[in-house]
Chains A and B, each alone.
Chain A
Amino acid sequence: MVRETGERFVARARRWALDLPPLALLTGGFLVVLLVSGLFGGLREVDTDPAGTVTAGVPVETEPLTVTVKDAYWVTAFPEAADSPDSPDSADSADSDRRIYPDEPTRGRFVVVEATVLNTSDETVDYDVLREAVSLDGAQGFVSTRDTALVPAAQARPTYVYTMPEKRIFGTAQPGVTYTVAYLWDQSAAVPLPQRLTVAVNGHTWREDTLDFHLGWKDPAVEATGPFAVPERRAS
């Protein structure tokens, strides 16, 4: 009984489909492909290259930056030196003006990644891209710029990115210039750091914005990852 109705239904559906004009069939097929592919992120080609490896001192070439991670550690103030460099005339007001004042983390700990960054493109790269070039993974308790709650490392953006040793904001990277920089993430000291933390280098794609049609570096994607021991560093 059930089987009979099923067969009749299939037969009727087949007749209905065969009676459809070819244009309707094409449109229907297109819609099905569109809807199904949409569920999995669309038909655009996906970069399936395996992520490379981040090793201290080895350059990772991505677009538009070449990033060489040098070191990773954590501090309770950055830079860790509590006093300005001692010099005979350090009491001089002009000289004390030149102190680099340390930043204090809001939750007790800064995770710091030191790196060099080279812009290999033909145009100046701005802060948003520079800030996304290095990220962390494999730890908890990071301060987010968006949420008040703590977030896992993979969702945290660096609180500060500085050029070193002068500690200016790394707001622009000019083409062909190599910068020595420090990425700082604000982490809660109440959350333990694991033995090793994953440091990732992210690349970007040069494309037109779908809303305002301006060209820019977009879609940060992990290009390489590597485990780094993150010891505490104290003022020497």
Chain B
Amino acid sequence: MSSDEAGSETGSETGSETGSETGRETVAPSRRSWLRRNRVGLVLLPIALAAALAGNAERLQTLWWEDALHAPQRPDSAGVVHFVDAYDDGHHAWPIRPALSLVSVARVDSLPGSDGEPRPVTLPTGAVLHKVTLHVEADPNMILTGCTLALADEDGTRWETGSRAFEVDASEPFSPCTPDDHPGPGWLPKDEQPVVEADEVRPAGYDVDSYVVTPADARPTEVWVWWDEPRFAALPITSTDEG
């Protein structure tokens, strides 16, 4: 291999000298000799191009891939997404690996008040309210706070929870992924380990409701759940859900 390279290098050097000498007398070196002279360069050119592109690819990673939802995780035959993600700041890494499944998506016109009785909602003109019920199974020691849920249609248009796009005499659930009273562990950069209050311990499996406003003519086909872009769980809405 190395002897081959050395050979070709010497070959190209002599070739170039001959080429320039003849070039002064004839009009131009022959095509063949140009190819031969630049053999090594021509072989290295695509490699150099690929290396230059790869060197710039970190911009694709940070400015495009990690900047939006690009990596869907879809359910198995039982309709469960075994979601795989992690919180990772370079010093600490906490796994985010819940099993997510969709219980129902239904149009509603009320939210439960603090006493559990339904309270009517006022919606923007031409908008409707959907109640999304998610079933979550996860290790109670896993941090699951800070997720976002959205309804998405075939074009990728997405309507998120927490839109504050309706008025009601009740409070919207705090998080679409954890029960309001039992959110389980949380973590702040000052802590060594995730911290959980004794009365906030999360059950291993539970249903959680959230509310999404869309225009009446919206046709959502999937429920998306995510913690950090670009990974998200994509749960298809079966036609019976919106009956």
Physical contact A–B (CB less than 8 Å): no
Task: Please give the residue numbers on chain A whose beta carbons come within 8 Å of chain B beta carbons, in ascending order.
Answer: none
